[in-house]
Chain A
Amino acid sequence: MSPRGAPLAPEVPQGTRTRRTQRTAGDLPRWVWLPAALGAALVVVPVVALLTRVDWSDLPALLTSESSRAALWLSLRTAAASTVLCVLLGVPMAFVLARTRFPGQALLRAFVLLPLVLPPVVGGIALLATFGRRGLLGSSLEVVGVQVAFSTTAVVLAQTFVALPFLVISLEGSLRTAGHRYETVAATLGARPSTVLRRVSLPLVLPGLVSGAVLAFARALGEFGATITFAGSLQGVTRTLPLEIYLQRETDPDAAVALSLLLVVVAVLVIVLVRGREGRS
């Protein structure tokens, strides 16, 4: 397995050509290749195995069935909506975390990142405790006639919950790498804080923001555990692609595989998009 097999590796090692003639600091002991290749195989082989299960002749029919189209359309709409929510809420969060200092900030950051490490089903139960009919906020919302559970809104909330940290981390990293220099210069030239944010800081970290948003979109598209726990499963309303795949598995494994292939293709596109951007910036 060549280094190309690991598209997420931070950098292709330099100096592989010169290895035979001259040893450099970048040289790796040869045995490292074995576990690395095993690791790569662990990821690549299942995807290839999935491809072997695809019923190519029936693929168009399986992908265009009514339930598949409903799930795909719902997934695209909700993932787009939660990406917008992630940007609206996550950009200010990243700025607050990267550009300010206040007591309890470390704790806040830990909490913001919690959905990254939390099993999504736990997120779903937590959301239910918040927005469910008998939940912390849900019971008040119910009084004013707003019901979140079993609605598309619930799907968007679940997706935003799990996707938000991806955007915040990505952007906070970019902000820290970019540093304050240009912002300080703009401020000394008399720009107001809002102008600095809009004209200097945001354009500087735009690539980070875009890759963060793409990652958040991908995470939202793949959301399963929190959605099925919190939002339920109904065609066209709450049954997104992952839920549809899980359900189709019961009766029509070929359809489940076809839809899985669709999500794999989207995932590959996302990686290409993010890596491409990072390569340029």
Chain B
Amino acid sequence: MKKLATAAAAAALLLPLAACGNDDAVDPRADVDSTLVVYAAASLKGTFTELAKEFEAANEGVTVQLSFGGSSDLVSQISEGAPADVFASADEKNMDTLVGDDLVSGDPQDFASNTLVIVTPPDNPGDVTSLDDLADPDLDVVVCAPQVPCGSAAQKLATAAGVTLAPDSEEQSVTDVLTKVTSGEADAGLVYVTDAKGAGNSVRTVEVPQASQVVNTYPIAVLSDAKQPGLARDWVELVTGSQGQKVLRAAGFARP
């Protein structure tokens, strides 16, 4: 009797766990309500959120689940088996990692590109006028760490302009750089044009002439483990098509 109770307790404990791992099972209502899971670089948050609404409106019963993060973070999540259907990366390197691991179905397609720009707080307390000012150790300068896409772009830009940056902090993501500038903690930061545009009046932007030499290209691809390969292809079509391109252009993204 005691054993029975133990077994029942074990079952009660394990059942919810089993339910968690049940993603693989076929949802009986799959043809009525389906969910498309899109993993996308953090800089795509605004545009993809907008496109998801359009996608849901055009496909009745379909829910788009968006997960934003640093591209390399998302790649490691996908490699560890995260249930994603589509992946959009902020650089080619991270997409190449997935392609190399055979996790991508078909060839990735480039759908947008982004360049860097200097942002300062609206009152520009450090009187920043060019990239040269970002070499001034007296100013509080914030960039991305070289390990993440926006940081490697910042380094390439500095090299192209012949400037040695003197950062006070190397942040984990471009949004962290932007926050440090909008909060007034930093005098200047290097972010993507789209981030600067998204921040509106809370930053002032300073163009860098060499920025056009350092272009981050955004590829998108359907994943080989996609549970909704059909919807995933539709999503890629939306993003690369005229409707998606219009939304991306409005946010400041350039053509790939």
Confirm or deny: A132 has a beta carbon within 8 angstroms of a beta carbon on chain B: yes
Interface-forming stretch among A193-201, A244-252, A267-275? A244-252
9 contacts between A and B (CB under 8 A): A34-B6, A134-B183, A149-B185, A232-B142, A232-B168, A233-B145, A247-B145, A249-B73, A250-B147
The closest CB in chain B to the CB of A134 belongs to: B184
Query: Which of B33-41, B58-66, B169-177, B215-223 makes up part of the contact surface?
Result: B169-177
The residue in B73, B169, B176 that gathers the most chain A C-beta atoms within 10 A of its C-beta is: B169
Sorted nearest first, the 6 A-B pairs with minimum C-beta distance are A232-B169, A150-B168, A250-B147, A251-B147, A134-B184, A250-B72
What residues of A have a CB within 8 angstroms of the CB of B10 in the complex? Answer: 34
Interface string of A230-252 (1 = CB under 8 A from B): 01111100110000001111110
Whether A35 sits at the interface, judged by CB under 8 Å, is: yes
Q: Which of B5, B76, B168, B180 contacts A253 (CB 8 A)?
A: B76
Q: Are B171 and A34 in contact (CB under 8 A)?
A: no
| In-complex Cβ contact of A35 among B9, B73, B140, B183 (8 A) | B9
Contact across chains for A232 and B171 when beta carbons are under 8 A apart:
yes
Structural contact, B184 and A234, CB atoms closer than 8 A? no
A247 and B169 form a contact (CB under 8 A): no
Interface residue tally for chain A (C-beta within 8 Å)? 27
The docked-state distance in angstroms from the alpha carbon of A30 to that of B180 is 55
A232–B180 CB distance below 8 A: yes
> Is there an interface contact between B76 and A150, defined as CB atoms closer than 8 Å?
no
Q: Are B145 and A133 in contact (CB under 8 A)?
A: no
B69 CB → nearest A CB, Å: 11
Q: Is the Cβ of B169 less than 8 Å from the Cβ of A31?
A: no
Total residues of chain B contacting the partner, CB 8 A: 26
Residue B148, interface by CB 8 Å: yes
Contact B168 A34 (CB under 8 A): no
The answer to whether B9 touches A234 (Cβ under 8 A) is no
Interface flags for A114-147 (1: CB within 8 Å of B; 0: not) read: 0000000000000010001110000000000001
A-B contact number at CB 8 A: 70
The complex places the Cα of A238 from the Cα of B183 at a distance, in Å, of 19
In B129-175, the 8 Å CB interface with A consists of: 140, 142, 145, 147-148, 167-172
* Contact of B169 (CB < 8 Å), options: A233, A248, A249, A253: A233
Q: Taking the complex as formed, is A171 at the interface, i.e. its CB lies under 8 A from any CB of chain B?
A: no
Choice from B6, B13, B167, B172 contacting A246 with Cβ under 8 Å? B172
Min distance, Cβ A136 to any Cβ of chain B, angstroms? 14
A29 nearest in chain B by CB position: B2
Give the shortest distance, in Å, between A78 (CB) and chain B (any CB).
16
Given contacts A34-B9, A150-B185, A249-B72, 18 further A-B contacts (CB under 8 A): A30-B2, A31-B5, A31-B6, A128-B183, A149-B185, A150-B168, A150-B169, A232-B171, A234-B167, A238-B169, A239-B170, A247-B147, A247-B172, A250-B70, A250-B72, A250-B73, A250-B147, A250-B172
Q: Which of B76, B169, B185 contacts A132 (CB 8 A)?
A: B185
Our pick among B5, B148, B185 for the contact of A133 (Cβ within 8 Å) is: B185
0/1 per residue, B113-138, Cβ < 8 Å to A?
Answer: 00000000000000000000000000
Take A249-B76, A250-B148 as given contacts and tell me if A34 and B169 are in contact as well, using a CB distance cutoff of 8 Å. no
Chain A interface residues (CB < 8 Å from chain B)? 30-31, 34-35, 38, 128, 132-134, 147, 149-150, 228, 231-235, 238-239, 246-251, 253
Smallest CB gap from A231: residue in B: B169
Q: Smallest CB–CB gap between A255 and chain B, Å?
A: 11
Contacts of A231 in B (CB 8 A): 169
Enumerate chain B residues within 8 angstroms of A251, measured Cβ to Cβ. Answer: 72, 147
Q: How far is the CB of B231 from chain A (nearest CB, A)?
A: 30
Instruction: For the complex, give the distance between the alpha carbons of A70 and B170 in Å.
Output: 15
Residues from chain B with a CB closer than 8 A to the CB of A35 are 9, 13
Q: How far is the CB of A133 from chain B (nearest CB, A)?
A: 6
A232 and B180 alpha carbons, distance in the complex (Å): 9
Given A31-B5, A247-B145, A250-B72: A228 touches B172 (CB 8 Å cut-off): yes
Instruction: Determine the chain B residues whose CB is within 8 A of the CB of A250 once the complex forms.
Output: 70, 72-73, 145, 147-148, 172
Residues of A within 8 A of B180 (CB): 232
Contacts of B76 in A (CB 8 A): 249, 253
Residue of A at shortest CB range from B2? A30
Q: Complex Cα distance A234/B185, Å?
A: 15
| Least CB separation from B167: chain A residue | A234
Nearest chain A residue, comparing its CB with the CB of B72? A250
Choice from B13, B70, B169, B184 contacting A38 with Cβ under 8 Å: B13
Contact B168 A234 (CB under 8 A): yes
Given contacts A247-B147, A249-B76, A250-B72, contact A30 B6 (CB under 8 A): yes
What CA separation (Å) do A265 and B170 show in the bound complex? 28
Which B residues are in CB contact (< 8 Å) with A228?
172, 176
